[in-house]
Amino acid sequence: MCRQAREILAKIKAGDLQMHQYDLSARTHGIPWAELPTWIIPLIYSAIAVLLGMFFPRIEASLFSSWTSPMTVSAATAIYGAVATGMITLTGLVFSMVFVMEQFSATSYSPRLVVWMSRDPLMFHAIGVFTATFLYSVAALAWVDRRHDGKVPFFSVWLTVALLLASVAMFVGLVQRLQRLQVNSVLSFTGDFGRRVIEVIYPPLKRATAAIPISEFAHLPVTQTLNYSGAPRTIQALNAPALLALAEQSDAVIEMISAVGDTLVESTPMLCIYGARERIRDCDLLKTIKTGTQRTFEQDPKYSIHLLADIALRALSPAVNDPTTAVQALDQIEDLLLRLGRRHLEIGEIRNSAGRLRLIVSVPSWEDFLNLAFNEIRACGKDSMQVVRRMNALLADLISALPEERHPALRSQQKRLRAVITKSFPDMEDQLEASAEDREGLGATRKRPAETRSELHPAARA
């Protein structure tokens, strides 16, 4: 990125140049742009253990030679050997447990959840502690009776005991993590990512915003396009402040054609630039687009809903036939839609401090979120009484809780659900049962106010 673009980017970060409508720089400060690989965690533990094993016994021998453990040499040798051997065995057991967890998650819920559940920092810290305990025990073993004086270093013994207790604590924590394989924990885990992204990305809903007027940049000539080249990759995040800085530098409008979550293949159009005074280097543009081999939650609120829908679809498959899990997935989906419905979703228009359009980002609309949440579940769960009753309650609750501007799309979903119920349940009694609202699926049928008054006052019926 050239010097002028870096100066503009610095002004944006300092607040001297404001981003109107979609301040991604302010709304994604808690989202990591670059993450260290998780294998570095156990590597750091191992490096520290090696350094301690090399220097700590020497320091102890030179400064604290009078401090010795009352433990016999044979006992110390046996303990160090047992700790080292046990840690290798425990590390293998942990790897086996991780493998089983990943396989269980992939087959029971969704293979796309495996990578997120296996990234638990506790797992890598545990492997690091196990490895560090093994390495230090081996190093400390070499200093037992090193000068053939029958002495056992005092502090090395207790450091080994401390590492052993830390390993036990880590193992207990890993066992506790097995609770995350329960369906409620998996659904909450997936929903939490979506709630976090919605809170960060979308501002509160204040007023309806019109779509971006095409005429505002349609008269500008297309001066540059950027197509993807390489193996298939997924857009994980956009560095909007950097894109805005590049647009300001060349006095252009940048339109992102590919959205966050899209998969890029050879020659896929990524963005177009309109009315630029000078060409922007492709390498500078590519630096603002983070790609990877899979989708992430960073700037993609659709992904949580997608995963929850995947779990529901797997539960509704003939091989599983578990509509209750689908109902629980709809509980999480309802919460995410409720939060989205109260947020300002039209955030794809980014302007500079003068109000000039500089960047257009493709973002999902309210209708897109509803289609993602309902279409496939409605198609696969059309024969399940539980699922359609829960969807009836879900749509009714959203209509009653969300602003009027969200209602047309919700009523369209209600209409499509009623059509599916009519087609899937030919019997009139079944249709009436399936058309009821029930937050539990099959539990407590929600009564309308007129029905409640009729039950409380039978004379009113007459």
Domain 3-31+211-292 has CATH 3.90.1170.30: yes
% of the chain residues with pLDDT over 90: 34
Q: Does residue 434 surpass a pLDDT of 50?
A: yes
Least confident of 56-65, 130-139, 290-299: 56-65
- Domains of the chain, by residue range, sit at 3-31+211-292, 40-181, 301-344+364-460
Tokens of 365: 């609309």
Please provide the distance, in angstroms rounded to a whole number, between the alpha carbons at the two ends of the chain. Answer: 80
Q: Does residue 462 surpass a pLDDT of 50?
A: no
Segment holding 280, helix H or strand E: none
**What is the mean pLDDT of the segment spanning 111-136?**
80
Q: What residues form DSSP beta bridges with 360? A: 255, 349
Q: For residues 458 and 131, what is the distance between their CA atoms, to the nearest angstrom? A: 74
Tokens 């100066």 locate to 7
Q: Does residue 141 surpass a pLDDT of 90?
A: no
Q: Does residue 2 surpass a pLDDT of 70?
A: no
Interacting residues of 187 by C-beta distance below 8 A, sequence separation 6+: 308, 311, 328, 329, 331, 332
Task: Give the torsion sign (CA, 425, 427, 432, 434).
Answer: negative
Least confident of 202-206, 409-413, 420-424, 446-450: 446-450
pLDDT category at 138 given cuts 50, 70, 90 is confident
**pLDDT at residue 16, rounded to an integer:** 45
**pLDDT at residue 400, rounded to an integer:** 93
Helices and strands per DSSP (H, E), number in the chain: 18, 8
Q: For residues 69 and 156, what is the distance between their CA atoms, to the nearest angstrom? A: 9
Tokens 């509704």 locate to 316
Instruction: Check residues 99 and 187 and name the one with the higher pLDDT.
Output: 187
**What is the mean pLDDT of the segment spanning 36-46?**
83
**What is the mean pLDDT of the segment spanning 398-425?**
94
Q: Does residue 269 surpass a pLDDT of 90?
A: yes
Q: Does residue 355 surpass a pLDDT of 90?
A: no
Verdict on whether the full-model pTM lies above 0.85: no
**pLDDT at residue 320, rounded to an integer:** 85
Strands 222-227 and 253-256: unpaired
pLDDT category at 413 given cuts 50, 70, 90 is very high
The per-residue DSSP string of 106-173 comes to HHHT-HHHHHHHTT-HHHHHHHHHHHHHHHHHHHHHTTTTTTSS---BHHHHHHHHHHHHHHHHHHHH
pLDDT category at 35 given cuts 50, 70, 90 is low
Tokens of 151: 């002495």
Instruction: Check residues 250 and 157 and name the one with the higher pLDDT.
Output: 250
Q: Is 15 left (phi over 0), alpha (psi -120 to 50) or beta?
A: left
**What is the mean pLDDT of the segment spanning 27-49?**
68
